């Protein structure tokens, strides 16, 4: 599986990974040592919580390593045709909406960042400024869009 990332997101993930491997693992080891000193591990809530946190952290480390290993940096090359990495201004019902087509790791609907494989993105990919289309939303609603700008 290929993960599409911007350069910024890749740097962010690399920083998070470095912090988890360094400081994160050190902090968990210290918490485990402190919890062991409290005695019986069977009924030691601090120890069990630290182990659970350790498992979550190791899973996150593994996830980031896979994403970085299998990632492709988004290289928006065509300023006329919508592709992954494009920023798009659309008109819907007389109102302007802005979207950026990103990889799954960067989706933030509040910031207008939508996944390349989201239903709307699938309609947008390959289109250009001035194109008009009818988008059928997953709930069955049909919406008229016009592409005002691609960058």
Q: Does 17 share its domain with 57?
A: yes
Last residue of a domain, one of 30, 48, 73: 73
The number of folded domains in the chain is 2
- pTM for this prediction: 0.77
Q: Does 109 share its domain with 56?
A: no
- Identify the CA nearest to 100 among candidates 11, 6, 10: 6
The parent domain of residue 130 ranges over: 87-150
Q: Does 62 share its domain with 100?
A: no
- Identify the CA nearest to 123 among candidates 82, 94, 86: 82
For residue 79, being part of any structural domain is answered with no
pLDDT at 93: 83
Query: Low-confidence residues of the chain, pLDDT below 50?
Result: none
Q: Read off the DSSP letter of residue 116.
A: T
Phi, psi dihedrals of residue 121, rounded to the nearest 5°: -60, -40
pLDDT at 117: 93
pLDDT at 11: 96
pLDDT at 25: 97
pLDDT at 79: 79
Percent composition of the chain: helix, strand, coil (DSSP 3-state, to 5): 45, 25, 30
pLDDT tens across 101-115, in order?
Answer: 999 999 999 999 999
């Amino acid at each position: 599986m290929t993960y599409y990332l911007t350069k910024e997101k890749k740097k962010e993930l690399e920083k998070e990974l470095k912090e988890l491997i360094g400081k994160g693992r050190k902090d968990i080891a210290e918490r485990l040592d402190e919890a062991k000193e409290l005695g019986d591990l069977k009924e030691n809530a601090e120890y069990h919580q630290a182990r659970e946190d350790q498992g979550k952290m190791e899973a996150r480390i593994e996830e980031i390593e896979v994403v970085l290993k299998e990632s492709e940096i988004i290289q928006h090359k065509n300023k006329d045709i919508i592709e992954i990495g494009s920023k798009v201004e659309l008109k819907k019902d007389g109102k302007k909406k802005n979207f950026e087509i990103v990889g799954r790791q960067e989706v933030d609907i509040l910031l207008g960042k939508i996944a390349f494989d989201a239903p709307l993105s699938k309609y947008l990919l390959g289109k250009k400024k001035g194109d008009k289309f009818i988008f059928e939303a997953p709930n069955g609603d049909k919406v008229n869009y016009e592409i005002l700008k691609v960058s």
